[in-house]
Each structure stands twice: as C-alpha cells, then as structure tokens.
C-alpha cells in the first residue's frame, strides 16, 4: 500500500462511481420504504416484511460497499459470522422463550383431583 | 533493555531519552506486564474484600442476631444503623451478599484470571512486544479501577450497597429503595467497558502479533483459552450492558422495561408506572451474559493448569488438538445454554427442553478437557512443587463442580435444587477450589518470571494443604444442605425455615444435623481465611527475600514466556523470537535436554 | 522493538491492527443494539392488544434524518477515497460536510425530543382524555393545544396530518386526575424509543467528535504519516457507517411499524 497514492488515483475514480451509485440506491430505498408505509397496506405482516426487507437491502449496501465487506479478509468474515450467529440465537431464543410462557389464567380443573373444595364442578357431584 | 533508536509512534517519544518516572512506570503505564500486575494486585485486594464480606455474613448465618465479634462495632461505626449494636441486619446481609457475588465475579476473578494473567502472559507466550493497543489497555485498567471504586463507595451511601443479589433481578432491583442499585449499574457499565476494551485488545493481539512461526496450532493452550474467553466477553457482555441501561432507565426515568402491568409494591398498592414491561427480559439478557461469564471464570484457569501440568510432568500434553477444539466448542455453545438458569420462570417446556439439551451437550467438551489434563499425568515424572499441587487439586475440584452441575442443567431435578445451597456449593466448587486454585497455581508459577525470585516452597505447601482442607470443609456440606431444601440468600441461615414443618412429610423442615453444619461451614470459612495469611506474607516477603532464580527459565519450560530476560524488560525479547515447534515438546527423544523451547 | 502492523497489513491476515480492532468493537456493538432490538420485540409482542402506539412520531422528520445520515455516509466514504487519491483538500471539504450533517442530525433529533416532552396526555377526573402540546401552565389551570381523545383512538394519526382538528383547550387543575408528557415513562414504546435513539445519538456525537478531531488537529498526521492517517479515516469511517446502519433499522422500526 505504501506507494499506492499516486497510481491508485485512477483506480479510485471507478470506486467512487460505485459509491455514488450505492448512495442513490440508499436514497431510493428510503423513499420506497416511506412510500410503502404511506399507501397503508391492509396487511400488517406485509408492511413489516417490506420495511424490513428494504432495510436489510440498505444495510447490505452500506456494509458491503461503504464498509467494504464485499472484499474483506477472511478473518473479519469469521468474526462477523460468529457475531451474526450469536445475535440471531439471542433474538430468536428470547422471543421463542416468551412465546412459550403460558398466557392468562391456568385452570387445573380438567382433572378432578386438582379441584379445590367448593369449586363448581365438585359441587355438582 | 534495548535502547530505542527511532521515535516510536505508539509509545510517545519520551522513553528513548529518559527513564519514565514513577507515575509513568507504575500508574499510567502502557506496558502489558505492568498493567497485568496492576490488575493482579487490585483483583487480589478485591478477592480478599469479597471474602471478608462473606466471613461476616457467615457469622450472621451461624449466630443470627448476635453481634459480630471484633468487627461488629466497626461496622456499626462506619455503616450506621444497618449494623446497630454490631448486629448484621437482614438488609445489610442482602447488601453484603449481593456485593460478595458482584465483587468476586466482576472485580476479583475475571480481572485476575483474564486481565491479569492474560496481560502478563499472553504477549510473552506468543512472542509479541506488547499488546496491540497499549493505550487502550491502560484505559481498560482505569475503567476497571473506576468501576471498583464506584462499587466500594456504594457501601457508604445512604441506604447502602445494592441488595438485589448479583443477578439484580427486576422488578425487585428496580423498586428496592435507595441508590445502591443505581451505583451498581453505573459501576457495572464501567466494568463492562473495561472488559470490552480488554477483549478487543486480546483478540487483536493474538490474531496480529504472533511471532513468526507461531501458527495457530503452535499456540500454548493458555493462549487459546484466553482467546476464546475474550470472545465470550466481547459478545456476551453487550447484552448485559443493554439490560443495565434499561434498568437504569427504569430506576431514574421511571420507565417500565422490566416492570409488568399491575405490579403491586409494598402494601399491595399498584406501582405508579406505565407497566407493560417484562421481568423475564431482564433474566434473559442477564443470563445471556451470565452463562458465558462462568466460562470466562473457568477457561483461563484451565489454561493455566494446562501450562503447569505440561511443565511439571515433563511430557507433552495429551490431546492438544482435542483441547483446542473443545475450548472452541465450549465458547460457541456457551452462548446458547443460558436459560438453564431460568427453568423455574415458567418459560415453557419446549424451550426448557432445548436449553437442557444444549446444556448436556456443552458438558462434553468440558469433560474432554478435564480428561486430557488427567491423562496427561499418566507416566509423567511429576514434580510436586507448589504450583503443581494447586494445579493437580484443580482437577478433582473442578470435576466435582462440573458433575454436580448436571442435575442443575436437567429441568426436572433443577426444580428441586434451584436456589438452594446445592447451587451455591456447585458453582463455588467451580470458582473457588476450582478457579482460585488454578489462579494461585499461576501466581506461584509465574512469580519468578515477574520478580526474579521464587516464593517459598514450604509456606506454599502449607498454604496449599490448609486451603484444600478448608475449601472442602466449607463447600462439601452445602450440597447436603441444599438437597434437604435449605434456600440460599437467607440471613438467618434458614433458622426460621427449619421450623416450618408442614404436615408429617409435606415440608420436612431441616434436620438438626443440617442446621448444625452451618457451624462447621463457618468455622472452616474463617479458617480458610487464616490459611491465606501464609500466602500473603509469602507473596510480599519473597519480593525481597525469596530465593533468586539462577536462570531465565527456572522451571525449564518450553513456551516463549520463559525465553525472555527476567523480569522481561519493556519490549520483552532481546531479539525477535522465531518459532519452530509446538508448545509442549518435553522429553522429546534425541533432544539434548528434556525440554525443547519453541524458539530453538 | 516496536509493535508491528500498526500501518502495514500483516501477511497472513492481510489486516493492520486497528482494522481488526474496529471490527471486533463493531461486533460487540452489534450485540449491544441486538439486545435492544430483541427487547423491542419482546415489549411489542407483549403489549396488550391495541396498546402499542403506532404513528406517534413524525415520519417526514424521521425520513429527513435518514437522508441526512445517508448523505453523511457518502461524504465519509468520499473523504476517505480523496485521501486514497492523494487529495487532501477534497478530504477536508467532504469531511467538513460530514461533521455538519452529524450536527444537523443531532439538532433535528433534539427538536423531536422536545416535541415529545411538551406533548401531554391529560386524564380528567371523569376519565375524559385530552391530548396535545402544552401551551400554558399556571397553578390553577393548563392550556393544551390538541384534541379530545375518542375512546380507543389513542394518539393516532399525527403523522398523517391529524384528522381531528387541534384547538386550545383550557383545563382546570382541579379537574385533572393525571397529566403526563410523552417521555420514556409514558409507555414501553416511548421507553424503548428514547433508549434506542438516545444511545444512537450518543454514537453519532461520539463519532462526530472523533471525525472532528481527525479533521482538525488530528489531520496534522497527514504530513508526517499519510498512510497511517488514511487508515485512521478508514477506521472512523467504519464506525460512522455502522451508526448509519443502525439507523437504517431504527427508522422503520420506530417510525413506521
Ligand atoms: C472462597 C471463599 C468463598 C466463600 C466462603 C463463599 C461463600 C458464599 C456463600 C455462603 C454464599 C451464599 C450466600 C447466600 O446465599 O446468602 C455465596 C454466594 C455467592 N458467591 Fe461466594 N464464596 C466464596 C468465594 C466466591 C468466589 C471466588 C466467587 C466468584 C466467582 C463467588 C461468587 C458468589 C456468587 C455469585 C454468589 C451469589 C450471590 C447472590 O446470591 O447474589 N464466591 N458465597
Ligand atoms: Cu449457566
């Protein structure tokens, strides 16, 4: 890299054009996101999906091109892959964990033995 | 020290011209060895402090509502009413308990095992001049010191230190009166920052600064252990930081992150909050750190033990590759077992099954590591010096700790054992006779490199045998207490609970023998404290009067940390080491000596 | 001996030290924000049906701020590219814009915050609810510029241009049962909104300080060690892009959904 300053200049013009392209793509992405929200789709799921999909594409563009992840070294990929795995595990398992929590009141009444004295079904005997 | 001829960008230009002064050399140093020692000394202080808290608590457990001898009036004088008449009030018990856990974990063991040993040894073992980012290293220590001071100060604020346990479960932690918990959170943010900076530094150092020829599979196992540990800190701590921020918001901005709708507080009134939060969320985020944290406590210890065993059996470690893959597997799996601490939260059976399964799986690599270390002893001509004794004792102690963890990892048996003294016994076997023994082994082992003198062997052995006996006397009976149902965190040592006999057998209370074992435990704990006196004296006395080392490699070791001048100067090596072989080439046939250093 | 690979990449990894360092740091940041996003999900799916407020924030302002950050990202990357092309003057210009954009972002954000802190929900003794911005506050009464909340239509529609006309409403103190502004304490949505955006704003400020330093006094390094300086700009740029990336998710999640 030491003597790059001079002869890289030309190469970099090419990069710069790509950066500008990514920039416009990000702007368009933002506009589409807001547009999709503005028309108020009926389905909440679809709205969420569209918004997150576009956000992911934008994130990919920023990470891939502005942060040069597209052409990064293996070591960095390794670190980020581990991070992505733990991130996903954390989010998924935490949400799943909540999903399993019994909601509302639990009635043990379906089995007679768990009935407390004086509860309606016992009285019916 | 080699005079530096060019101006160095990283170190500032001063040192080429004059010797750094006291402050620069010992307080604002960027030298990894000095920082390691700073960490070590501070952490040892906190280890003692955490122990003393527990020593006082054991009095209250054993003789509830009796004034604590000797220190009781002192407590009363400095802390006021919570220790009225020298008696430890339940509030004070709670505060001491919470701070014992916090201090032991975050201010004593992690800084000692990871930061102190890591800083001192890792760059030496990989043949580096220093850490990759020396200034960040210094800041990391400073953040740790500030965090420690905040925790200490919290004892003296009105209302005292945090009382909601080291786990700080909300809503309790959010609602408990006083500012102790706020101090705890802010202190934790500093400690987390310190660990994060340290972790970045270690990983970058190990990736970037290995000496020529030091390939991954030639790294000493200790370096591998530190590498994985650093990743655990790097990726598991931030969620706790997030949780701490949210708990801080709950406390100071009256949000309801962890406070559910309809939360009733003292007197049955509804809390004046918006509600809608999730107490379970705190537990998830806490244990997402909490479980990897226990591996942070144990992996460096395993690394130390491995180095010492290889060196003192004078033969290669058995199954170096299995050790490396196991430690990687542990690191990986430790992120997906956390909710085995939460079986009783009612989070549902499917997810409990998932976590129970991963927990059983992660025990496999731990067993592999233990087995490799054990098998390594086979056929060795073992030198039973003090470091080796501690390292050897680590194996069964950690074994007991690990095996007794299995019933806690299984959903079904954990329902009975959860939150009892069985848990206390289990994890203390891992961290106290386990990790602490390994750390002591490490201190006796690397002391000659750091100071140029040995610690006394005789007093070392006295220290070892007494510690071994009393450690077991403290923690072994707790298994029995827990299995009978004695709950932890009870300031009267379960005296009230023991009376609670319901029906004939429904709740059996606690037998007299179990209650009496409180007395044995406490006396053993105090004796354990006294047994550290020979160590403390030995540690300081040997600085001046210990036997001098006669060579730079007094243990005749193979790894690079011993191929430096003693003590290693700034910059560590006389010349850039070149690595030619694996880390444990002991007693290789055909070699002139029974050890072949990595750089020959 | 000196620490190697401070500027030049190491052969086998192809990286210089700080590059490894910053990516590790960003990895930990991913986990930090990841935990907060997980919390967002938990709070949201845990909210009682209909309780999660939607449309509390002004989408157009949020969109404007998104564009500000995106623009700052391109100026950062162009600043770095200018250094690569040995054009220090251009670097100064681009990075100057970055700093201005960062300040714009923070200023806009603070207006949004102020708006929320002056926005009140007033519950009367008879459980009527008024919602609007505080105009006047005296010991005996308050004046709110807003509207009466029809049952079940809590704080809706602000972003779409309010359908309910806003008027000045005078309320006697004696009538008020509870009066609370839309701060983080108001509900869990606002709690996570303030926490996430404040943490993000701290990152913006922190990043801007570093970039500002390297733009001002720190840029002297360009004369003595241009490569090292370029690396520093790359590192600070990576951080800046990450901050932008977080916002890319924050915007839809907090403003739109
Ligand atoms: C070596 C001497 C030690 C003794 C005698 C000791 C004793 C105890 C006892 C009896 C308890 C239970 C208190 C209660 O439940 O009321 C306890 C709790 C605890 N100890 Fe230790 N301990 C020692 C060392 C350590 C070390 C080295 C660690 C470090 C990791 C540690 C971490 C903890 C934690 C995390 C708790 C739980 C605190 C809580 O309930 O929030 N201890 N200790
Ligand atoms: Cu665990």
List CB contacts (< 8 A) between A59 and chain C: 245, 248-249
Look at the domain C17-116+186-256 and name its fold.
1.20.120
Q: By three-state DSSP, how is residue C138 classified? A: coil
**Residue ranges per structural domain of chain A:** 1-72, 73-119
What's the mean pLDDT in A106-123? 43
Task: Annotate chain A with three-state secondary structure.
Answer: CCCHHHHHHHHHHHHHHHHHHHHHHHHHHHHHHHHHHHCCCCCHHHHHHHHHHHHHHHHHHHHHHHCCHHHCCHHHHHHHHHHHHHHHHHHHHHHHHHHCCCCCCCCCCCCHHHCCCCCHHHHHC
Q: Do A26 and C76 touch (CB under 8 A)?
A: no
Asked if B151 and B107 count as a contact pair (C-beta separation under 8 A), the reply is: yes
Q: Indicate which residue's Cα is closest to atom 7 of ligand 1.
A: B54
User: What is the B341 CA–ligand 2 centroid distance (Å)?
Assistant: 6
Q: What is the CB-side half-sphere exposure of residue C50 using CA atoms within 13 A?
A: 4
Q: Which of B423, B421, B276 is nearest to B340 (CA)?
A: B423
**Residue ranges per structural domain of chain C:** 17-116+186-256, 119-181
User: pLDDT exceeding 90 applies to what percent of chain B?
Assistant: 84
Q: Is B401 touching ligand 1 by the criterion CB < 6 Å?
A: no
Confidence check: pLDDT of A124 > 50: no
Q: What is the pLDDT of residues B188-223, one digit of tens each?
A: 999 999 999 999 999 999 999 999 999 999 999 999
Q: What is the CB-side half-sphere exposure of residue C237 using CA atoms within 13 A?
A: 27
Task: Please give the pLDDT value at position B356.
Answer: 95
Residue with tokens 């010991």: C139
- Enumerate residues 282 to 301 of chain B having a beta carbon within 8 A of any beta carbon in chain C: 284-285, 288
Residue A11 banded pLDDT, cuts 50, 70, 90: confident
Residue with tokens 């919390």: C39
Q: Do B274 and C46 touch (CB under 8 A)?
A: no
* Residues flanking ion ligand 2, Cβ below 5 Å: B 291
User: What is the B343 CA–ligand 2 centroid distance (Å)?
Assistant: 11
Residue B15 banded pLDDT, cuts 50, 70, 90: very low
Question: Could you give the CA distance from residue B173 to residue B179 in angstroms, rounded to a whole number?
Answer: 10
Confidence check: pLDDT of A119 > 70: no
Most B-contacting residue of A72, A81, A92, A97 (CB-CB within 10 A), to test interface: A97
Confidence check: pLDDT of C157 > 60: no
Q: What is the CB-side half-sphere exposure of residue C85 using CA atoms within 13 A?
A: 18
Task: Please give the pLDDT value at position A110.
Answer: 47
Mean pLDDT is lowest, of B460-464, C8-12, C52-56, C157-161, for C157-161
Q: Is B331 touching ligand 1 by the criterion CB < 6 Å?
A: no
Residue with tokens 């059983």: B360
Q: What is the pLDDT of residues C160-206, one digit of tens each?
A: 444 678 889 999 999 999 899 999 999 999 999 999 999 999 999 99
- Long-range CB pairs of B85-92 (<8 Å, 24+ gap) are B87/B60, B88/B56, B88/B57, B88/B59, B88/B60, B88/B491, B90/B491, B90/B492, B91/B160, B91/B163, B92/B160
Mean pLDDT is lowest, of A113-122, B57-66, C226-235, for A113-122
Q: Is B388 touching ligand 1 by the criterion CB < 6 Å?
A: no
Q: Mean pLDDT for chain C?
A: 92
Q: Is B100 touching ligand 1 by the criterion CB < 6 Å?
A: yes
The more confidently predicted of residues B299 and B19 is B299
List CB contacts (< 8 A) between C42 and chain A: 94-95, 98
Q: Who contacts B211 (Cβ-Cβ below 8 Å, separation ≥6)?
A: B126, B127, B128, B560, B576, B577, B578, B579, B599
Maximal C-alpha separation, chain C: 79
Least CA distance to C180: which residue of chain B?
B274
Q: Is B493 touching ligand 1 by the criterion CB < 6 Å?
A: no
Q: Is the peptide bond before B398 cis (omega within 30 degrees of 0)?
A: no
Closest in C24, C34, C36 to B234, CB measured: C24
Q: Is the peptide bond before B153 cis (omega within 30 degrees of 0)?
A: no
Asked if B395 and B305 count as a contact pair (C-beta separation under 8 A), the reply is: yes
Q: Indicate which residue's Cα is closest to atom 39 of ligand 1.
A: B165
Most confident segment among A40-44, C176-180, C213-217: C213-217
- Enumerate residues 453 to 512 of chain B having a beta carbon within 8 A of any beta carbon in chain C: none
What is the interface pTM, i.e. ipTM, of the complex?
Answer: 0.94
Q: Indicate the top mutation candidate among B101, B295, B497 to test ligand 1's pocket, ranked by most ligand atoms within 8 A of CB.
A: B101
Closest in A86, A94, A100 to B235, CB measured: A86
Task: Please give the pLDDT value at position B503.
Answer: 61
Residue C156 banded pLDDT, cuts 50, 70, 90: very low
Distance between C19 CA and the closest CA of chain B, angstroms = 9
User: pLDDT exceeding 90 applies to what percent of chain C?
Assistant: 79
Q: Mean pLDDT for chain B?
A: 93
Residue C207 banded pLDDT, cuts 50, 70, 90: very high
Task: Please give the pLDDT value at position A121.
Answer: 40
Q: Indicate which residue's Cα is closest to atom 24 of ligand 1.
A: B432
Give me C189's structure tokens.
Answer: 């949505």
Give me C119's structure tokens.
Answer: 């926005």
Asked if C53 and C153 count as a contact pair (C-beta separation under 8 A), the reply is: no
Q: Who contacts B120 (Cβ-Cβ below 8 Å, separation ≥6)?
A: B32, B33, B36, B37, B40, B446, B450
Q: What is the CATH number of domain B29-260+274-562?
A: 1.20.210.10
Q: Are strands C129-137 and C176-181 parallel, antiparallel or unpaired?
A: unpaired
Residue C55 banded pLDDT, cuts 50, 70, 90: confident
Task: Please give the pLDDT value at position A106.
Answer: 56
Q: What is the pLDDT of residues B105-114, one digit of tens each?
A: 999 999 999 9
Q: Do C27 and B235 touch (CB under 8 A)?
A: yes
Confidence check: pLDDT of A120 > 50: no
Question: Could you give the CA distance from residue B472 to residue B474 in angstroms, rounded to a whole number?
Answer: 5
Q: What is the pLDDT of residues B573-582, one digit of tens each?
A: 999 999 999 9
Task: Please give the pLDDT value at position A113.
Answer: 43
User: pLDDT exceeding 70 applies to what percent of chain B?
Assistant: 95
User: What is the B491 CA–ligand 1 centroid distance (Å)?
Assistant: 14
Question: Could you give the CA distance from residue B585 to residue B75 in angstroms, rounded to a whole number?
Answer: 55
Task: Please give the pLDDT value at position A102.
Answer: 66
Question: Could you give the CA distance from residue B555 to residue B313 in angstroms, rounded to a whole number?
Answer: 11
Radius of gyration of chain A (CA): 27
CA distances from B357 to A94, B28, B344, B410, B422 (A): 17, 47, 17, 8, 21
Q: Write out the CATH class of domain C119-181.
A: mainly beta
- Enumerate residues 305 to 334 of chain B having a beta carbon within 8 A of any beta carbon in chain A: 332
The more confidently predicted of residues B232 and B380 is B232
Closest in A85, A97, A101 to B339, CB measured: A97
| CB burial string C234-251: b at 16+ within 10 A, e below | bbbbbbbbbbbbbbbbbb
Most B-contacting residue of A83, A88, A90, A103 (CB-CB within 10 A), to test interface: A90
Question: Could you give the CA distance from residue A14 to residue C225 in angstroms, rounded to a whole number?
Answer: 26
Q: What is the pLDDT of residues B316-336, one digit of tens each?
A: 999 999 999 999 999 999 999
Maximal C-alpha separation, chain B: 84
Task: Please give the pLDDT value at position B271.
Answer: 84
Task: Please give the pLDDT value at position B262.
Answer: 86
Ligand 1 atom closest to the Cα of residue B61 is 16
Q: What is the DSSP annotation of B36-63?
A: HHHHHHHHHHHHHHHHHHHHHHHHHHHS
Q: Is B368 touching ligand 1 by the criterion CB < 6 Å?
A: no
Q: Who contacts A103 (Cβ-Cβ below 8 Å, separation ≥6)?
A: none
Asked if A101 and B348 count as a contact pair (C-beta separation under 8 A), the reply is: yes
Shortest-distance ligand to the CA of residue B166? 1
What's the mean pLDDT in B243-271? 90
Question: Could you give the CA distance from residue B53 to residue B64 in angstroms, rounded to a whole number?
Answer: 16
Beta strands in B20-179 (DSSP E): none
Q: What is the pLDDT of residues B472-525, one digit of tens each?
A: 999 999 999 999 889 999 998 888 877 766 666 555 678 888 999 999 999 999
Q: Do A5 and C252 touch (CB under 8 A)?
A: no
3-state helix, strand, coil in chain B (%, to 5): 65, 0, 30
Q: What is the pLDDT of residues C117-126, one digit of tens each?
A: 999 999 999 8
């Amino acid at each position: 890299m030491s003597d790059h300053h001079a002869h890289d200049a030309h190469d970099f013009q090419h990069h710069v054009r790509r950066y500008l392209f990514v920039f416009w793509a990000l702007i368009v992405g933002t506009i589409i996101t807001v547009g999709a929200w503005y028309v108020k789709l009926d389905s909440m799921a679809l709205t969420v999906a569209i918004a997150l999909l576009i956000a992911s594409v934008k994130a990919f563009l920023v990470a891939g091109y502005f942060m040069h992840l597209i052409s990064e070294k293996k070591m960095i990929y390794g670190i980020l892959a581990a991070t992505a795995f733990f991130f996903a595990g954390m989010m998924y398992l935490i949400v799943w964990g909540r999903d399993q929590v019994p909601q509302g009141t639990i009635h043990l009444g379906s089995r007679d033995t768990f009935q407390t004295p004086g509860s309606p079904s016992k009285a019916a005997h | 020290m080699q005079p530096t001829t060019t101006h160095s960008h990283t170190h500032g230009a001063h040192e080429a011209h004059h010797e750094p002064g006291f402050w620069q050399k010992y307080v604002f140093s960027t030298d990894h060895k000095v920082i390691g020692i700073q960490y070590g000394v501070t952490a040892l202080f906190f280890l003692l402090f955490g122990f003393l808290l527990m020593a006082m608590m054991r009095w209250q457990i054993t003789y509830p509502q009796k004034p604590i001898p000797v220190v009781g009036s002192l407590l009363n004088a400095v802390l006021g009413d919570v220790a009225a008449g020298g008696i430890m009030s339940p509030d004070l018990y709670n505060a001491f308990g919470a701070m014992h856990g916090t201090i032991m974990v975050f201010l004593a063991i992690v800084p000692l095992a990871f930061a102190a040993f890591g800083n001192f040894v890792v760059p030496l073992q990989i043949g580096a001049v220093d850490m990759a980012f020396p200034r960040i290293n210094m800041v990391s220590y400073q953040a740790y010191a500030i965090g420690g001071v905040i925790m200490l100060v919290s004892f003296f604020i009105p209302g005292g230190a945090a009382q909601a346990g080291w786990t700080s479960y909300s809503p309790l932690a959010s609602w408990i009166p006083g500012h102790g918990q706020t101090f705890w959170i802010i202190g934790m943010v500093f400690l987390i920052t310190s660990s994060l900076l340290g972790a970045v530094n270690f990983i970058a150092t190990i990736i970037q600064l290995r000496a020529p020829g030091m390939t991954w599979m030639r790294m000493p196992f200790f370096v591998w252990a530190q590498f994985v540990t650093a990743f655990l800190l790097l990726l598991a701590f931030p969620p706790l930081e997030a949780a701490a921020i949210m708990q801080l918001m709950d406390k100071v901005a009256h949000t309801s992150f962890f406070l559910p709708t309809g939360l009733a507080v003292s007197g049955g009134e509804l809390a004046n909050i918006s509600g809608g939060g999730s107490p379970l969320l705190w537990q998830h985020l806490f244990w997402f750190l909490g479980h990897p944290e226990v591996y942070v406590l144990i992996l460096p210890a395993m690394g130390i033990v491995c180095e010492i065993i290889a060196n003192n059996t004078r033969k290669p470690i058995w199954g170096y590759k299995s050790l490396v893959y196991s430690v990687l597997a542990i690191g990986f799996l430790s992120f997906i077992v956390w909710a085995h601490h939460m079986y009783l939260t009612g989070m549902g059976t499917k997810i409990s099954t998932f976590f129970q399964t991963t927990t059983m799986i992660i025990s496999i690599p731990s067993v592999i590591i233990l087995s490799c270390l054990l098998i390594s002893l086979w056929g060795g001509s073992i030198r039973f010096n003090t470091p080796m004794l501690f390292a050897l004792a680590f194996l069964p102690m950690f074994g007991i700790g690990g095996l007794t963890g299995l019933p806690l990892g299984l959903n079904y048996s954990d329902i009975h054992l959860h939150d009892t003294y069985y848990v206390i016994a289990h994890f203390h076997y891992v961290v106290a006779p386990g990790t602490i023994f390994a750390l002591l082994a490490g201190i006796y082992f690397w002391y000659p490199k750091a100071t140029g003198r040995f610690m006394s062997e005789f007093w070392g052995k006295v220290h070892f045998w007494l510690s071994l006996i009393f450690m077991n006397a403290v923690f072994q009976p707790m298994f029995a207490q827990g299995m009978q149902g004695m709950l932890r965190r009870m300031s009267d040592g379960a005296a009230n609970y023991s009376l609670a006999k319901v029906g004939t057998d429904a709740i059996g209370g606690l037998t007299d023998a179990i209650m009496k074992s409180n007395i044995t435990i406490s006396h053993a704990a105090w004796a354990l404290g006294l047994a550290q006196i020979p160590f403390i004296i030995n540690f300081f006395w040997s600085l001046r009067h210990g036997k001098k080392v006669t060579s730079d490699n007094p243990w005749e070791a193979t790894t690079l940390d011993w191929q430096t001048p003693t003590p290693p100067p700034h910059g560590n090596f006389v010349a850039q080491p070149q690595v030619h072989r694996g880390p444990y080439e002991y007693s290789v046939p055909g070699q002139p000596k029974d050890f072949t250093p990595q750089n020959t | 001996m000196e620490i190697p690979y401070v500027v030049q990449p190491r052969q086998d990894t192809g990286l210089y030290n700080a590059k490894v360092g910053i990516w590790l740091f960003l990895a930990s940041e991913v986990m930090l924000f990841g935990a907060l996003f997980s919390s967002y999900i938990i709070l949201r799916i845990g909210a009682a049906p209909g309780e999660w407020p939607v449309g509390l924030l002004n989408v157009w302002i949020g969109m404007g701020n998104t564009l500000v950050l995106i623009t700052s990202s391109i100026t950062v990357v162009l600043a770095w590219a200018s250094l690569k092309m040995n054009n220090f003057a251009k670097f100064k210009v681009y990075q100057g814009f970055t700093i201005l954009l960062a300040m714009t972002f923070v200023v806009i954000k603070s207006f949004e915050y102020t708006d929320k802190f002056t926005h009140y929900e007033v519950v009367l003794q008879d459980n009527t609810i008024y919602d609007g911005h505080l105009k006047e506050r005296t010991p005996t009464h308050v004046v709110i510029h807003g509207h009466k909340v029809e049952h079940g239509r809590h704080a809706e529609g602000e972003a779409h241009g309010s359908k309910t006309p806003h008027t000045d409403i005078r309320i006697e103190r004696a009538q008020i049962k509870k009066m609370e502004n839309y701060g983080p304490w108001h509900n869990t949505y606002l709690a996570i909104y303030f926490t996430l955006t404040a943490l993000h704003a701290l990152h913006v400020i922190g990043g801007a300080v570093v970039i500002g330093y390297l733009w001002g006094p720190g840029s002297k390094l360009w004369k003595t060690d241009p490569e090292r300086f370029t690396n520093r700009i790359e590192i600070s740029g990576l951080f800046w892009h990450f901050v932008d990336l977080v916002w890319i998710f924050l915007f839809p999640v907090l403003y739109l959904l």
